Structure 1
């Protein structure tokens, strides 16, 4: 298996990704800093100007809960996203979990206990965990379309509008897409 930066075009994509990753982390982090109540899972009340979001983020600390078993993804968060967020005045702390369900269970337990400023700010989530959180009204929604770089995505792309069949409804933003390349020697 090759790393994304092993291909020349992938290296330039990675450089472009670095340019928007920190602001995206900031927006997601600010949107997710408090465990939302059921009424906030429909849409955002009033989108702030991006400059205000960035200003509000300064001095904040964000706990990103994500699967700890992906060394490349963990390294990317630690060596690219965290330093980029730090330049903008935000501390990004990766919280490795054995299973994303651990983060979801923490969110659900804190919501049930009435905690409004929980320990999970941001979750790398997909599939059944996203669906479970959506069904429980655990996700803050209606913010993803306000991210500045969402203009570079296709709003009708089913990979962005649904997560394993569950409608996203602005409750999550794309992290990355997996790609597969097959290289072969046609002579052999």
Structure 2
């Protein structure tokens, strides 16, 4: 079980983060013959909901423009529930399929023109990632503030648990991850 922390994670000035296996997203795009502009396609079709419900990607909406502390947590004990931290929100019930060994936290600009070249850039430039064995995972997302060396920092924590078979999807796809940062 592991706990991995990233500091100063930025949302590229768009109020979304996306979590998932981008190679699996490319498979989905190619199998369905979707356009390169996935963000527009996902907003005008049901395919956006489908990729979330099928465990291809998890969208985090209404992300404020702060530098975030991000935890990938497989320990079962949330950092945001520890003394001194401030939990503000929690959403359980996500599922995620890992087919290519790594999940990334990435941003909307990558799926505006989602090509093989863009995928290469994502893998090269996005360091907020976690290597995982292929298979199914249950994911809970916690948000709030955590005590860091420089004060209270906006924080997202991904509680990730491997499961033997495909879990049910019970999360609210439209949940808003708007965190109040007391020191910004």
TM-score between the two structures when normalised by the length of structure 1: 0.26
Higher helix share: 1
TM-score between the two structures when normalised by the length of structure 2: 0.27
Higher strand share: 2
Structure showing greater radius of gyration is 1
